[in-house]
Structure 1
Amino acid sequence: MTQETVPVRTDDADPALAGRVRTALGAPDAGPLTVLEGGRSGLTYVLRDGGSGHVVKAVPPGRPARGRHDVLRQSRVLSALAGRGLPIPAVTARDEEAPAWFAMELAAGEAVEPVLDVDTDLSPRVARERMTRAAGVLGALHAVPLDALAQGVRTAGGELPDPATPHDELLRWEETMHAVPVELRPGSGDLLAALHADVPEAVAPVLVHGDFRLGNLLCDGLEPTALVDWEIWGIGDPRVDLGWFGVFTDGTLFPGVGRVVPGLPSEDELGELYRAAGGTQPQTPWFRALARMKMAAIMGHNLRRHREGRHHDPVQEQLPPTIAALIDSGRDLLAGGAP
């Protein structure tokens, strides 16, 4: 079947892309290609075909396939992880012709961040159990042998990136922090100086998701079904993922935009669950502080973009107290003022 044989539908969000996807999937009668709300890595759509469905990620037309728009890079790590017992959506099609795209199975479930999705009715019991199981997923993810991962990525047409050290991670997010106006990041200079003063030695590198949290893990009831949003995956220090995940256990870090959810595992408990599932590294104050700096930098950058009119989102105006709280918490951790 050629692309020209697939009829154009007026209800597709992108008729040209929809025709390519239906052809590659061999599904000319699939439903309309619709925008998936919340997708941020490139353009994200859903295509339903009878009882099944596909999530389609595409490079925006005219944009280079770099950074978060390099959707094929995401597809290759997903292909490499297939068959390992992890909740990873299966890649169902891939097309390198510009604008590139790939499709993966639409998994059942919902992705809820308990401390930030304040309007959800997710019970504390379910939130705790999901977070507990997610810690096991992270441990198993970090236990994937890199040689096997490299072979899988090569088979899918890519190569593993060079490992990033803790110092590399610090420099990466420090650059984001420095792009935030000084008045929006009080105390950040002290936090950055403290982080630079005591950078840990790197440990054996692993596959790092880069944004591992419940908001990126679909769950059907209590069962994890799909770990998504792989736009910043890399090879690096496992404590980067572990520290980042821990930020989302504490609603007090998000005043005005988050909430305290009783019964969530502590960061120490998450670390224990993680190691029981194959993870080898403990929680440390430095990586916890790094994660808080990273979150403050990302939020500050988003607020800046809103105020400059590059992405209108009035909700961003609620972030200054949270940015300050994250920075203060990071400074306390490195000063020994918090566990």
Structure 2
Amino acid sequence: MTASLAGRVHAAFPGQPVGPLRTLAGGHSGLTYTVAVGERRFVIKAVPPAERPVGRNDMLRQARVLNALAGSPVPVPGVVLVDEAPPAWFAMEFVDGAAVEPVLDEHDVPGALAAARMMGAARVLRRLHDLDVATLALDAPAPRDASAELAQWSRTMRAVPDELRPGSERLLRRLADAVPAGLPPVLVHGDFRLGNMLCRGEQAVALVDWEIWSVGDPRTDLGWFLLFADHRNFPALGRPVAGLPAEPDLLAGYLDGAAALPAFAWFGALCRMKMAAVMGHNLRRHREGRIHDPDQERLPPTIAAMIRSAAELLE
């Protein structure tokens, strides 16, 4: 596939010197490479061979949201070229910056700088949610409401072995009994966190990894983002970072004086359940031999903590 894709990339830039495709570390959807074209550098994202272009592998969908956000207050890489011929791929600008998740990644970012970046990310998220989704050329599916989110992640949770998810059935029942009314739908990133934000110094220069964007309730993005503010949400995984803003501080930065969001605790619980379900799913795949990642064995304390703290939020 790399040789075939390289040929297509070369053909897309006629008359220009095109370097080799180099795998980009950290790319988790499809195939992700960097390539030098003359004096410029691009990121190439392509559908893997023998994979259907759906979900995380739908490159045209990713390119579409990036194009829709070009020139908006939300910083994203610019799309340079889209090749729709199967298997589809697109080229976007390479943005120089660091993406660091303060409480989970190994890093040497000072606490004050990490704090400034997190507060900046909260403001970027608000700018994203303030966009008029009706004016964006997204060709988006129908909006996902809280019930749809709960249904999807409940299925994922219930596919995890019982012993890995203590207390989850009671949590799922309580969530189902208290589904809140929706807010006007917005563009939702789906995995909004500092680890998906390229920064230079304190400045956010590009929000990346748009594989699972949708149109839905803004509280799903916000609840997910706030999870990463406190290392205690991730037993055996997280590390304390001095000076990092607490969840209420980030929430206040997002609201910027606006009225509090109704039923936000429910979405905080939903996002904790989602995190537990995702981790349980990944650990199950490792134990079944579908992937080999011994680091997944560190997840059980965090899975249990997510379920427990989600239940506490619903009290």
TM-score, with structure 2 as normaliser: 0.96
Letter in 1 for 2:141: P
1:45 is paired with a residue whose SS is: strand
1:311 is paired with a residue whose SS is: coil
What is the correspondence of 1:178-327 to structure 2 with a 5 Å cutoff? 178-276=158-256, 281=261, 284-327=264-307
2:117 pairs, out of 119, 123, 130, with: 130
CA distance in 1, matches of 2:249, 2:263: 10
Q: 2:132 corresponds to which residue?
A: 145
Q: Is 2:67 aligned against 1:79?
A: yes
Per-residue deviation, residues 211-255 of structure 1 (Å, max 9, x unmatched): 000010111111111111111100000000000000000100111
1:114 is paired with a residue whose SS is: coil
Quick one: structure 1 residues 313 and 277, their matched pair in 2 at CA, closer, same or farther if it must change by over 3 Å?
Answer: farther
Question: Which sits farther off after the overlay, 168-177 or 13-22?
Answer: 13-22
CA distance in 1, matches of 2:116, 2:58: 33
Letter in 2 for 1:146: V
Quick one: structure 1 residues 232 and 331, their matched pair in 2 at CA, closer, same or farther if it must change by over 3 Å?
Answer: same
Q: 2:57 corresponds to which residue?
A: 69
User: What is the CA-CA distance between 1:29 and the residue it aligns to?
Assistant: 1.3
Per-residue deviation, residues 163-200 of structure 1 (Å, max 9, x unmatched): 01111111111111111111111111111111111111
Per-residue deviation, residues 297-321 of structure 1 (Å, max 9, x unmatched): 1111111111111111110011000
1:19 is paired with a residue whose SS is: helix
CA distance in 2, matches of 1:65, 1:78: 17
Q: 1:334 corresponds to which residue?
A: 314
Q: 1:33 corresponds to which residue?
A: 21
Q: 1:3 corresponds to which residue?
A: none
CA RMSD of aligned residues (A): 1.6
Question: Which sits farther off after the overlay, 19-28 or 285-294?
Answer: 19-28
Does the Cα contact within 8 Å between 1:86 and 1:137 map onto a contact in 2?
A: yes
User: What is the CA-CA distance between 1:27 and the residue it aligns to?
Assistant: 6.2
Q: 1:24 corresponds to which residue?
A: 12
1:164 pairs, out of 123, 144, 164, with: 144
CA distance in 1, matches of 2:39, 2:155: 45
Q: 2:45 corresponds to which residue?
A: 57
Q: 1:6 corresponds to which residue?
A: none
Letter in 2 for 1:303: L
2:61 is paired with a residue whose SS is: helix
Quick one: structure 1 residues 188 and 330, their matched pair in 2 at CA, closer, same or farther if it must change by over 3 Å?
Answer: same
CA distance in 1, matches of 2:222, 2:294: 31
> Which aligned runs of 4 or more in structure 1 are off by greater than 6 angstroms?
277-280
User: What is the CA-CA distance between 1:279 and the residue it aligns to?
Assistant: 9.5
User: What is the CA-CA distance between 1:280 and the residue it aligns to?
Assistant: 7.7
Size of the aligned set, in residue pairs, is: 315
Question: Which sits farther off after the overlay, 303-312 or 260-269?
Answer: 260-269
Work out the percentage of aligned pairs sharing the same amino acid: 55
CA distance in 1, matches of 2:172, 2:76: 35
Per-residue deviation, residues 238-279 of structure 1 (Å, max 9, x unmatched): 000000000000100111111122222222221221122989
CA distance in 1, matches of 2:216, 2:290: 32
Q: 1:95 corresponds to which residue?
A: 83
1:137 is paired with a residue whose SS is: helix
Structure 2: 5+ residue runs without aligned partners? none
CA distance in 2, matches of 1:60, 1:178: 29
CA distance in 2, matches of 1:206, 1:54: 29
Does the Cα contact within 8 Å between 1:162 and 1:235 map onto a contact in 2?
A: yes
CA distance in 2, matches of 1:94, 1:141: 24
Quick one: structure 1 residues 278 and 210, their matched pair in 2 at CA, closer, same or farther if it must change by over 3 Å?
Answer: farther
Does the Cα contact within 8 Å between 2:16 and 2:37 map onto a contact in 1?
A: no
CA distance in 2, matches of 1:246, 1:43: 29
Q: Is 2:97 aligned against 1:109?
A: yes
Letter in 2 for 1:251: H
Structure 1: 5+ residue runs without aligned partners? 1-12, 154-158
Letter in 2 for 1:34: R
Quick one: structure 1 residues 123 and 283, their matched pair in 2 at CA, closer, same or farther if it must change by over 3 Å?
Answer: farther
TM-score, with structure 1 as normaliser: 0.89
2:53 is paired with a residue whose SS is: coil
